Amino acid sequence: MRKLLLILIILLVIAAAIAAYLIATTPSKSESVHFPLSERHLELLTRVPASANAFALIPTAPQFHAKLKTNPVTRDAVETWADEQHLPSPWLLGGADLVVWKKEKKTSYAIRVDAVRAFLLRASLFATNVSARWDGTAFIVNAEPERTLTKSELEPALRLADKLPEGDVFVVQRESARGAYPPTSRPAVSSVRVTPDEISIVSRARTDMTNERPAVQPRLPKGALLSVAFANPPRLLDDMRRLLRADVATLVADGGSIALYDVDAGTLLPRPDGVIVVPANDTRRAAVEDLRRVAELVGEIRDTGSELLVSFDHSSVTQYLKDTKEPAPWPASRWAVRLDPVRFVPILEKLGDNTGLRLIAPRIYRSARDLRRWIGNLEHADVIEAADSADAGVEELRVRIASK
């Protein structure tokens, strides 16, 4: 009996010691990713298979998980993702760094933990059907042994990332990645920062595009569903001719902005209500004349002296003039956008299923479908703002998602 009691006491002491160790070695705050990457983070990235399409580095993953739960935009999504991935409990991981990668449709990850947590992880995974192996420093989960990335193979992405701001997550999309976001060339790198009030994303990618125009900070109407200012018109404006029966691309050939206030998405061919805004100069006034007959038949044209406003409905110009204009959060040399996801997501749902739009205006249809994929789960966001610039062969996209 005395021996049994002694054994129980020893076991309790060991359990208490392990619990104390786990508590003492669990950080209370998440760690940021700094650029250039530390040797510790770089070494963890060498666990990523050479065949992976994309991967993400998350330092102190359990603490970042807790941070995601404080933001109403990310709260539900992270809980769903964690349940689907069957990740170990946060208390067991402590302050573990995590790298997760995507290969075709399969998600795998590597978790860097200390020796004590490695033992506990091995025990917790023993009775499950989760495929996991320990390589001496990290657990590799849901991945078969294969050649991994070398530091030299990581170098092109790391050079792009050198000017990224610090963040909670570092994401790399390689040349083979086909994800719709970010809407840039590949490879692309992104730094993601999450706070209780907002999510900020900065992405960088190589580009052959040149933009000699200086960066500006446009003022965008606060009450619009979607407002965008651009130095060069997007190609989807060519499709607007089929919806409005007017060539608006010529009017904005040297830049301008569009404020969209509503979309009648319930018809065979959706009809947008909004305002096209360009600087009031002789060249633009001449271009407006080509639209006058169609515009004044269904809408109006107004010259304020500084701006030319063209609308193909009877209410948008008045809305625009009364609207509060707010400066974009960053300067942009290519384009800047502001949108209201709460009002716009239901419209995108209809546009993405509209057969008439797919046949008549395929560029607008694809853009609506991509945008629905990007922001479809952001119903708890208050506003989304973005700005895109190109300089010295690098395109940089900044996005801010503010929560309610």
Tens digit of pLDDT per residue, the chain (404 long)?
666 555 555 545 454 445 554 555 565 676 788 999 989 899 999 999 998 888 999 998 888 888 888 888 887 777 666 666 566 666 667 677 889 988 777 788 888 877 667 777 776 665 566 677 777 788 888 888 889 899 888 998 899 998 999 999 999 998 877 776 788 888 899 999 999 989 999 999 988 766 566 778 889 999 999 999 988 877 776 666 666 666 677 777 788 899 999 888 777 777 888 898 988 888 888 888 877 877 777 888 898 989 888 888 889 989 999 999 989 889 888 999 999 888 888 888 887 777 777 777 777 777 777 777 777 777 778 899 999 998 878 899 999 999 87
286: CB partners within 8 A, 6+ apart: none
Residue 204: the pLDDT is 94
User: For residue 75, what is the enclosing H or E element?
Assistant: helix 75-85
Strands 188-194 and 97-103: unpaired
Tell me the sheet residues that pair with 220: 326
The single residue listed with the structure tokens 């001719």 is 241
Cross-strand partners of 221? 325
Which pTM value belongs to this model? 0.84
Determine the pLDDT at residue 17: 47
CA distances from 319 to 22, 324, 325, 385 (A): 59, 10, 12, 20
Q: Among 74, 72, 100, 73, which residue's Cα sits nearest to residue 87?
A: 100
What's the pLDDT score for residue 172?
Answer: 92
Contact present, 141 and 108 (Cβ < 8 Å): yes
Provide the 3-class DSSP secondary structure of residue 327.
strand
Which residues have a Cβ under 8 Å from the Cβ of 62 and sit 6 or more positions away? 26, 90, 91, 93, 94, 95, 96
pLDDT tens-digit map of 158-208: 999 989 999 999 999 988 777 767 888 888 999 999 999 899 999 999 887
Token code pair at residue 41: 């983070």
**Neighbour tally for 37: CB within 10 Å:** 18
